[in-house]
Amino acid sequence: MKYLQQSFSVKFEYKVYFTSGLFDLSNPLFNDFFKSDDSSKKIFFVVDEGVGRVVSDQINAYFNLYKALNLVPEILFVPGGEQVKNDTKYFDQILEAVNTHKIDRHSYIAAIGGGSVLDLVGYAAAVSHRGIRHIRIPTTVLSQNDSGIGVKNGINYFGKKNFLGTFAPPFAVFNDELFLNTLGERDWRSGISEAVKVALIKDPVFFEWIETNAGLLAARDRETMNYLIIRCAELHMQHIAGKDPFESGSSRPLDFGHWSAHKLEQLTDFKVLHGEAVAMGMALDTVYSNLSGYLSDHDCSRILSLLQQLGFELTHPLMETGSDNSKILLGLEEFREHLGGELTIMLLEKIGSGIEVHKMDAEILKKAELVLIGKQ
Residues 156 and 116: beta-carbon distance below 8 Å: no
| Residues 154 and 279 occupy one common structural domain | no
Asked if residue 57 and residue 105 are part of one domain, the reply reads yes
Distance of CA 116 to the CA centre of its chain: 8
Least confident span in 32-41, 98-107, 277-286 = 32-41
Q: Is position 155 within any domain?
A: yes
Q: 282 exposed, middle or buried (CB, 10 Å; 0-12, 13-18, 19+)?
A: buried
The DSSP element (H or E) to which 301 belongs, if any, is: helix 297-309
Instruction: Give the per-residue pLDDT at 251.
Output: 52
Q: Count how many domains the chain has.
A: 2
Mean pLDDT along residues 258-283: 93
- Residue 276's pLDDT is 96
The reply to whether 5 falls in a domain is no
Residues 197, 284: contact at Cβ < 8 Å? no
* 8 within domain boundaries: no
Task: Look at residue 243 in the predicted model and tell me its pLDDT.
Answer: 67
Confidence of residue 146 (pLDDT cuts 50, 70, 90): confident
- 332 shares its domain with 192: yes
The pLDDT of residue 250 is: 46
Share of the chain above pLDDT 70, in %: 95
Considering the chain, what is the average pLDDT of its residues?
91
Q: pLDDT tens for residues 293-306? A: 999 999 999 999 99
Domain end (from 122, 147, 182): 182
User: Is pLDDT of 159 > 90?
Assistant: no
> Beta strands of the chain (E only): which ranges?
15-19, 42-48, 70-71, 76-78, 108-113, 133-138, 152-157, 160-167, 172-176, 345-350, 353-357
- On whether both 223 and 340 belong to a single domain, the answer is yes
Q: What is the average pLDDT across 27-37?
A: 90
Q: Which CATH number belongs to the domain containing residue 78 in this structure?
A: 3.40.50.1970
Given this model, what pLDDT does residue 338 score?
66
Residues 148 and 271 in one domain: no
Pick from 375, 269, 258: which is nearest to 318 by CA? 269
CA-nearest of 120, 260, 117 to 187 is 117
Domain co-membership, 112 together with 197: no
pTM over 0.75: yes
Q: Which of 125, 150, 182 is the last residue before a domain boundary?
A: 182
In this structure, are 23 and 160 located in the same domain?
yes
Q: Please check the confidence at residue 245 and state whether its pLDDT lies above 80.
A: no
